[in-house]
Amino acid sequence: RKEVEQDPGPFNVPEGATVAFNCTYSNSASQSFFWYRQDCRKEPKLLMSVYSSGNEDGRFTAQLNRASQYISLLIRDSKLSDSATYLCVVRLNTGGFKTIFGAGTRLFVKA
Amino acid sequence: NAGVTQTPKFQVLKTGQSMTLQCAQDMNHNSMYWYRQDPGMGLRLIYYSASEGTTDKGEVPNGYNVSRLNKREFSLRLESAAPSQTSVYFCASRDSSYEQYFGPGTRLTVT
């Protein structure tokens, strides 16, 4: 079982739709959580960190459920420019470096 | 402020050839990383450097070597390229909040 799992998609949604992605992680030592965005043939860029109480940044809302070991990303009022791959990232508290990237969920927003 | 730069952007090698991928960051970050990204597998850590003068193996170090030349530069060397090393290679550096900043990537094909 992968340490960080995401539905690869693709999710095809119309402009203006609300779409949600989930990501599950298997290691209970997971300490920090992030969503990165990666455009086609580009480098990943941080979209938002995920805090325990949940957090919002404009049209984007991230939630963390430690008991069930998953994080989610909700995108409201989807724009064409939201089309990208969304990477779930988990940092473990195991001493030394351990950050794990999910394989990503592809989103296509269509006019 | 260029962020993280990588050279070359594209490279084709024959099996057995060697090459060095260069990476530099101008954000004064201590930690730097080399990843490879393959379809459906997410980013996998090859090597990282927590500070100038130190390097450590990541998840997939075999066939690679690294040099942390100074605080700015972290290079990745393939001594004898193999087709299995065909991939997209990303260099990254990390700030104190654990956000990683990626370079634009190197697309490597080994024939």
In the prediction, which pLDDT does B3 show?
Answer: 95
Cα–Cα distance between A42 and B71 in angstroms, integer? 25
| Residue pLDDT, tens place only, A36-83 | 999 999 999 999 999 989 999 999 999 999 999 999 999 999 999 999
Burial of A91 (0-12, 13-18, 19+ CB in 10 A): middle
Nearest residue on chain A to B90, judged by CA atoms? A43
Given a cut of 70, is residue A96 above it in pLDDT? no
| Residue pLDDT, tens place only, B62-109 | 999 999 989 999 999 999 999 999 999 999 999 988 899 999 999 999
CA distance B30 to chain A (A): 13
CA distance A45 to chain B (A): 7
Nearest residue on chain B to A32, judged by CA atoms? B98
Q: Is A3 on the interface with B (CB under 8 A)?
A: no
DSSP state string for B21-53: EEEEESS--SEEEEEEEETTTEEEEEEEESSTT
Mean pLDDT over each residue of chain B, to the nearest integer: 95
pLDDT band at residue B26, thresholds of 50, 70 and 90? very high
